[in-house]
Structure 1
């Protein structure tokens, strides 16, 4: 006769605790089953059993959150569009020079003289 795993006996409290962990957002039933070295199908069987399934009535109950009412403030002014520093210069020979952002005018003048020469 082949020797298999020893059959684990779970108490009702352990089953409830394991089933409750499956209700945590982002946690899968297989993750919980692996954590307890249990078969995933066994945990699904427990979830179908009303004795062990997490209390769904507790899920449906709402909770009150604190709310603070403050005086209404005036509407904010619409944001003015950002002025973009951009220069386009058409050079002799069909070349176009585009400069975006901050620039040094003297360095730009030297560049244009160098490209035009």
Structure 2
């Protein structure tokens, strides 16, 4: 049994062809460095630099990572700079405090350990409320 299908296009008034980067492009190390340098200018976003160079922002972000680790040379670019890394001494640990749960109903206060199960806390609160 054969099936016959007909397709009719009544009218095609407009057709758009969207073109983007196709295939693998080769970028020289110098060009990569110049493009990355553009992203270090205050107020400039990676997305807008990527759009200007017809590339994806995540690709440019990976180049920025290479530049931060010294694997990609970035030329001096007016206004471009890396943020300075500051290593501070370790902060002392916060003081250990004992947390408690307090149920206050009328003139009654019940103090519970913070590890008390939530259902148990709810049961006690209901019992205290019923006792009034």
Query: Is TM > 0.5 for Structure 1 vs Structure 2?
Result: no
- Tell which structure's C-alpha radius of gyration is larger: 1
TM-score by length of 2: 0.37
Task: Point out which structure has higher relative CO (alpha carbons under 8 A, 6+ apart).
Answer: 2
TM-score by structure 1 length? 0.41
